[in-house]
Amino acid sequence: MRGISIGMDVADIDTPALCLDIEAVEANIKRMADYARDRSVRLRPHAKTHKSPALAHMQLEAGAVGITCAKLGEAEVMAAAGIKDILIANQIIGAPKIARLVNLAAYTRVMVAVDDAANVADLDAAAGVKGVRLRILIEVDIGMNRCGAAPGQPVLDLAREIVASPGLRFEGVMGYEGHTIFLEDVNERMERTEAAMQLLTDSAELLRREGIPVEIVSAGGTGTYFITGAHPGITELQVGSYITMDSQYGGLERIDFAYGLTLRASVISTRGDDLAITDAGLKAVTRDFGLPLAIDPPGWQLTALAEEHGFLSRTDGPRLRPGDKVTIVPNHGCTTINLHDNYCVIRRGVLEAVWPVAARGRTY
């Protein structure tokens, strides 16, 4: 119902509109792929960020070995779009989801995280009934205190369960250093990430010493990719946000991807010269970890988001009037993208394509 047509000028796209600067996205994809190639670490980008098969295929063409998903529903969307190698980096629990998982395994090389022996038994039984062999990574808690088996003996015990399960194929271990990714002090970020990676690679070494082959040791986030990817023994990176680059990464040292995701909004009301109200509130852009960054016109700051409205305050920018358009960079792309049905794909100021956020809402 929104009046947009391919070939139109970006300035004419009605708002709120989630836009991809496709040249910036292409550059980000290439930069991370080049990094991984140079370091001989495999790249398995996290598709929870973009939820788009088109973008996933671009990452694969640039050299990624597969993709990572957060949810089974995302993996189903990606498999249906022809993606052939998918890690679901979470626990898949309960009979209905496990039934979907083993059926998905008939269409794609699917791999899933586990941290619990009862879940291992359930997965094994379902794989046996379906006649597939599920690929398994043990999630190790490397300091985030969320999911994951504790490093050391618990990981070894779980690995032995998996190795003894005929329906399962033990592939390796994974961890997520979510507790270090946003540390502003780059030295602290490096030190604590190294420590987390050491917990993960030590777990892998323990298994190998016990005669259990470990093919995959996977971790990584956009704020730590250059630390995790360089750590001896890490074989795969599961980075996500780098593809579009959030403003929450903007201030981090050594993270210099280009802003590829913007939200275009319109001023719908003004109060004097210094406050402008936009049509983009919390249903169009999130503030989970901080406010988005207003970038155009210069001299205006986004100071608040209500449910249906954004608040812009003037520092030294031009006067705005109702109907004027503004551009902001989401602070958290993953959750912002999940609010929208489509991307407007922009190249050099022209709407080149409209791509569905195909896995939007697939939390299940």
Token pair for 74: 């995302």
Question: Of the listed pieces 163-171, 214-222, 231-239, 333-341, which binds a copy of itself according to CB under 8 A?
Answer: 333-341
Return the H-helix or E-strand segment holding 264. Answer: strand 261-271
> Hey, what are 56's tokens?
């996933």
Give the Cα separation of 332 and 292 in Å (integer): 8
Smallest CA-to-CA distance from 358 within 342, 346, 335 is with 342
Cα 145 to its chain centre, rounded Å, is 20
Task: Considering only the stretches 8-16, 37-45, 181-189, 209-217, report the one whose residues sit in contact with a copy of itself under the rule CB under 8 A.
Answer: 8-16
Q: Identify which of residues 95 and 208 has a Cβ nearer to a copy of itself in the complex.
A: 95
31 binding a copy of itself? (CB under 8 A): no
Q: Which is nearer to a copy of itself, 64 or 70 (CB)?
A: 70
- Give the separation between CA 56 and CA 321, rounded to whole angstroms: 39
Q: Which of 266, 292, 320, 346: binder of a copy of itself (CB under 8 A)? A: 266
Show the tokens assigned to 123: 């997965």
* DSSP 3-state of 265: strand
From candidates 277, 294, 312, 346, binder to a copy of itself by CB under 8 A: 277
Stretch that binds a copy of itself, among 200-208, 271-279, 295-303, 312-320 (CB under 8 A): 271-279
Which residue in 56, 70, 294, 302 binds a copy of itself (CB under 8 A)? 70
Q: Does 52 bind a copy of itself (CB under 8 A)?
A: no
Residue 297 found at the interface with a copy of itself (CB under 8 A)? no
Q: Is 152 in the site for a copy of itself (CB under 8 A)?
A: no
10 Å Cβ neighbour count for 25?
25
- Rounded CA-CA distance 237/215 in Å is 14
Draw the binding track, 110-149, toward a copy of itself (x: CB under 8 A; -: no contact): -----xx-xx---------------------x---xxxx-
Q: Which of 23, 184, 256, 288 is the binder for a copy of itself (CB under 8 A)?
A: 288
Give the number of other CB atoms < 10 A from CB of residue 215. Answer: 14
State the Cα–Cα distance between residues 57 and 157, nearest whole angstrom. Answer: 37
Are 280 and 16 spatial neighbours (Cβ–Cβ below 8 Å)? Answer: yes
Q: Which of residues 169-228 bind a copy of itself (CB under 8 A)?
A: 178
Q: Are 311 and 275 in contact (CB under 8 A)?
A: yes
Instruction: Output 15 or 218, the one with its CB closest to a copy of itself.
Output: 15
Between helices 95-104 and 117-130, what is the axis angle to 10°? Answer: 50
- Residues near a copy of itself (CB under 8 A) are 1-3, 12, 14-17, 48, 70-71, 73, 76, 90-91, 93-94, 96-97, 99-100, 115-116, 118-119, 141, 145-148, 178, 266-269, 271, 275, 277, 279-284, 286-288, 306-309, 311, 321-323, 332, 334-335, 338-341, 361, 363-364
